């Protein structure tokens, strides 16, 4: 155990780390505990962290060679050491003309060619040159994909809906549950629908099955097999499999194995959204992410937004044993952000071994959850305020609304600040009792109710202010969280870019599917599984 770890352990029980006390003793805290970058403003003053805490956490980052790790990520080192490859999501959003090498070869020409291909396909669809099997232009896009081939893109689509082309509609088909695709097909016109099959591997069960159903549906609706190519585009790193599915090679947009699925929204994976929102919007989003990458690479550790957010997360996770982290989007357009961050964070740092395969000796990934403010205030905020667990929260708020209505945005903003303030200041039992008595309540009744009404406070939160909800700030926000996750992985000493844990379930799923299809009983499973297989068959 390093001496820094011991110091942090001792330091976390220090009574002076009460957020309210910290504010009382430092009038400049609200200004000092902030970082501004890429159109985002992070206010991290409402944390159980003093200058001493930040000094220790920054020293921890230095001890873990954070600066070198950031350089390794962005320069294409094999940071994914179990799959022996880089994780170059920063390259797919890098400036044209950059020189970023994988195995000694600059990958940017491929990235730029693909951008041109995306743009050309967009122009073809928007101009009406791309026609369906009856000669009509495309009006509906159905993007079929799951996990990293859906979640981040969905956030972008919702967040930037005010940029949407009114002549197009976009639908995501995700789940293996046939209800998902059935409900979407009901809204589509086969003559004017373009399916975008998004799968890095082109082997994911849900996507494969949904793509087959889409093809069957088109055929049943009258599209001859020879015209299927007019209704399908694929985005994949596995061109052979996409071709075998029947997609014309010129309509396959490439992905590369050096981009992780959950980090791939910057690529052609977003093709459906790019069609809807426009190529310019996509480029602007890449610019926003680039600005965050630049900040991550160049800002000193103590002034580095992703580093600070990552370190604070580690602080609560490892030293206060907090088990989860809430993402509270006070922006309707960002309501899907918690779902995306669940994958980015939990699939990346939900690991039990270090880079060298030895078991970790402390907590790794936390549970990411959350939702949309103010809706959550009328649902789960009760637990945040009075529950027994310490749950750090990020409030994501924009200074402006993309769709103003009267003073509703001011109310939204006020509520975000009020929640952060309530979490921090709380209200003591004495205060609550006095207030009730002042309003005329009998003293005995006020004493009985006070413990129920008191709010402990001293609950940490970050406020992330977006100057506005623009393609640039959305890009910067998504890149920020990707980097925050990487920072955690560096402190934990784990690989953030593999996901072996999801494989076992896939293999077992295949075996159980066979048993469900096969007549007769099967003894190949544990008793619990066998009994439900029997019930399904019966
Ligand atoms: O099963 C997990 C996973 O591999 C994710 O990591 C990935 O984002 C998702 O499935 C979809 O994979 P693909 O893009 O290859 O279909």
- pLDDT tens track for 40-80: 999 999 999 999 999 999 999 999 999 999 999 999 999 99
The one catalytic residue in 136, 162, 400, 506 is 506
Find the helix packing angle between 305-314 and 279-298, rounded to 10°: 70
User: CB–CB of 310/488 below 8 Å?
Assistant: yes
Among 199, 201, 496, which is best to mutate for testing ligand 1, by the most ligand atoms less than 8 A from CB? Answer: 201
Q: What is the mean pLDDT of residues 476-482?
A: 99
Evaluate whether the domain defined by 3-78+285-423+458-492 bears CATH number 3.90.1150.10. no
Centre of ligand 1 from the C-alpha of residue 531, in Å: 30
* Same fold for the pair 3-78+285-423+458-492 and 89-284: yes
Q: What is the mean pLDDT of residues 275-300?
A: 98
User: CB–CB of 36/476 below 8 Å?
Assistant: no
Dist CA 140 CA 144 (whole Å)? 13
Q: Give yes or no: 503 in active site.
A: no
Q: Give yes or no: 378 in active site.
A: yes
Helices (H), 429-520: 429-438, 443-453, 471-492, 503-517
Centre of ligand 1 from the C-alpha of residue 148, in Å: 6
Average pLDDT, the chain: 97
Nearest CA to ligand 1 atom 9: 147
3-state secondary structure of 473: helix
How many angstroms separate the Cα of 250 from the Cα of each of 112, 128, 233, 234, 247?
Answer: 16, 18, 9, 10, 8
Nearest CA to ligand 1 atom 13: 199
pLDDT digits (tens, 9 = 90+) for 377-402: 999 999 999 999 999 999 999 999 99
Centre of ligand 1 from the C-alpha of residue 147, in Å: 5
Nearest CA to ligand 1 atom 3: 147
Dist CA 346 CA 280 (whole Å)? 32
Q: Is 148 in the pocket of ligand 1 (CB under 6 A)?
A: yes
The one catalytic residue in 206, 325, 340, 347 is 347
pLDDT band at 439 (very low <50, low <70, confident <90, very high): very high
pLDDT band at 317 (very low <50, low <70, confident <90, very high): very high
Which secondary structure element, helix H or strand E, spans residue 200, and what is its range? none
Give the strand pairing for 101-102 and 105-106.
antiparallel
Which secondary structure element, helix H or strand E, spans residue 234, and what is its range? strand 232-236
Q: What is the mean pLDDT of residues 213-233?
A: 97
Centre of ligand 1 from the C-alpha of residue 150, in Å: 9
Q: What is the mean pLDDT of residues 359-384?
A: 98
**Residue 16 confidence (pLDDT) above 90:** no
Q: Give yes or no: 354 in active site.
A: no
Dist CA 106 CA 97 (whole Å)? 10
**Residue 523 confidence (pLDDT) above 80:** no
Whole-number pLDDT of residue 20: 97
CATH superfamily, with its number, for domain 89-284: Glucose-6-phosphate isomerase like protein; domain 1 (3.40.50.10490)
Centre of ligand 1 from the C-alpha of residue 199, in Å: 7
pLDDT band at 460 (very low <50, low <70, confident <90, very high): very high
State which ligand 1 atom lies nearest to the alpha carbon of 237: 15
State which ligand 1 atom lies nearest to the alpha carbon of 204: 16
Dist CA 538 CA 530 (whole Å)? 12
Centre of ligand 1 from the C-alpha of residue 459, in Å: 35
Q: What is the mean pLDDT of residues 175-184?
A: 98
Which secondary structure element, helix H or strand E, spans residue 457, and what is its range? none
State which ligand 1 atom lies nearest to the alpha carbon of 502: 1
Q: Which of 146, 118, 70 is nearest to 285 (CA)?
A: 118
Whole-number pLDDT of residue 23: 98
* List of residues 6+ apart from 74 with CB closer than 8 A: 88, 90, 100, 293, 296, 297
Q: What is the mean pLDDT of residues 114-133?
A: 98
Centre of ligand 1 from the C-alpha of residue 261, in Å: 6
Centre of ligand 1 from the C-alpha of residue 174, in Å: 12
**Residue 38 confidence (pLDDT) above 70:** yes
**Exposure of 328 in the CB half-sphere (CA atoms within 13 A):** 28
Q: What is the mean pLDDT of residues 368-380?
A: 98
How many angstroms separate the Cα of 182 from the Cα of each of 153, 171, 208?
Answer: 21, 12, 15
Dist CA 146 CA 199 (whole Å)? 8
pLDDT digits (tens, 9 = 90+) for 144-156: 999 999 999 999 9
State which ligand 1 atom lies nearest to the alpha carbon of 206: 16
| 3-state percent breakdown (helix, strand, coil) of the chain, nearest 5 | 55, 15, 30
Q: What is the mean pLDDT of residues 289-303?
A: 98
Q: What is the mean pLDDT of residues 316-328?
A: 97
Domain ranges of the chain: 3-78+285-423+458-492, 89-284, 426-457, 500-537
State which ligand 1 atom lies nearest to the alpha carbon of 198: 14
Q: Is 200 in the pocket of ligand 1 (CB under 6 A)?
A: yes
Q: Is 140 in the pocket of ligand 1 (CB under 6 A)?
A: no
3-state secondary structure of 246: coil
pLDDT band at 120 (very low <50, low <70, confident <90, very high): very high
Among 82, 83, 87, 149, which is best to mutate for testing ligand 1, by the most ligand atoms less than 8 A from CB? Answer: 149
**Residue 1 confidence (pLDDT) above 80:** no
Among 146, 236, 509, which is best to mutate for testing ligand 1, by the most ligand atoms less than 8 A from CB? Answer: 146
């Amino acid at each position: 155990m390093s001496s820094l770890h011991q110091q942090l352990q001792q330091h976390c029980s220090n009574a002076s780390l009460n957020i309210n006390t910290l504010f009382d003793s430092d009038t400049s805290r609200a200004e000092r505990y902030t970082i501004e970058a890429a159109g985002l403003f992070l206010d991290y003053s409402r944390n159980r962290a003093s200058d001493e805490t930040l000094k220790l956490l920054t020293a921890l980052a230095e001890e873990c060679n954070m600066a070198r790790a950031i350089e390794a990520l962005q320069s294409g080192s094999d940071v994914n050491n179990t799959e022996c490859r880089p994780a170059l999501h920063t390259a797919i959003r890098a400036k044209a003309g950059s020189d970023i090498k994988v195995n000694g070869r600059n990958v940017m020409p491929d990235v730029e060619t693909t951008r041109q291909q995306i743009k050309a396909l967009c122009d073809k669809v928007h101009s009406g040159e791309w026609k369906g099997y009856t000669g009509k232009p495309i009006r509906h896009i159905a993007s079929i994909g799951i996990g990293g081939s859906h979640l981040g893109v969905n956030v972008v689509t919702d967040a930037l809906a005010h940029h949407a082309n009114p002549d197009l509609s976009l639908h995501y088909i995700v789940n293996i549950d046939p209800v998902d695709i059935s409900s979407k097909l009901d809204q589509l016109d086969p003559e004017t629908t373009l399916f975008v099959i998004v799968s890095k591997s082109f082997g994911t069960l849900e996507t494969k099955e949904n793509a087959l159903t889409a093809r069957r549906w088109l055929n049943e609706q009258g599209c001859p097999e020879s015209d299927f190519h007019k209704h399908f585009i694929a985005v994949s790193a596995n061109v052979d499999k996409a071709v075998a599915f029947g997609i014309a090679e010129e309509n396959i947009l490439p992905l590369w194995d050096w981009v992780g699925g959950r980090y791939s929204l910057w690529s052609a994976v977003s093709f459906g959204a790019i069609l809807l929102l426009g190529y310019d919007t996509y480029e602007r989003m890449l610019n926003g992410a680039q600005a965050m990458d630049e900040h991550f690479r160049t800002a000193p550790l103590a002034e580095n937004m992703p580093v600070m957010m990552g370190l604070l997360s580690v602080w609560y996770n490892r030293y206060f044993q907090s088990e989860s982290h809430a993402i509270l989007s006070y922006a309707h357009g960002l309501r899907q952000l918690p779902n995306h961050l669940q994958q980015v964070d939990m699939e990346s740092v939900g690991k039990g071994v270090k880079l060298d395969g030895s078991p970790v000796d402390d907590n790794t990934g936390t549970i990411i959850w959350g939702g949309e403010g103010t809706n959550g205030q009328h649902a789960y905020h009760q637990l945040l305020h009075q529950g027994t667990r310490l749950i750090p929260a990020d409030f994501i708020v924009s200074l402006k609304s993309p769709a103003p209505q009267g003073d509703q945005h001011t109310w939204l903003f006020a509520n975000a600040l009020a929640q952060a303030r309530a979490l921090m200041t709380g209200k003591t039992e004495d205060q609550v009792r006095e207030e009730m008595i002042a309003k005329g309540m009998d003293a005995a009744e006020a004493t009985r109710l006070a413990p129920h009404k008191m709010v402990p406070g001293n609950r940490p939160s970050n406020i992330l202010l977006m100057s506005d909800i623009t393609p640039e700030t959305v890009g910067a926000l998504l890149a920020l969280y990707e980097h925050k996750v990487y920072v955690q992985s560096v402190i934990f000493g784990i690989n953030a870019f593999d996901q072996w844990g999801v494989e076992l379930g896939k293999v077992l799923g295949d075996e159980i599917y066979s048993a469900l299809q096969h007549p007769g009983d099967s003894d190949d499973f544990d008793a619990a599984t066998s009994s439900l297989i029997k019930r399904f068959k019966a």
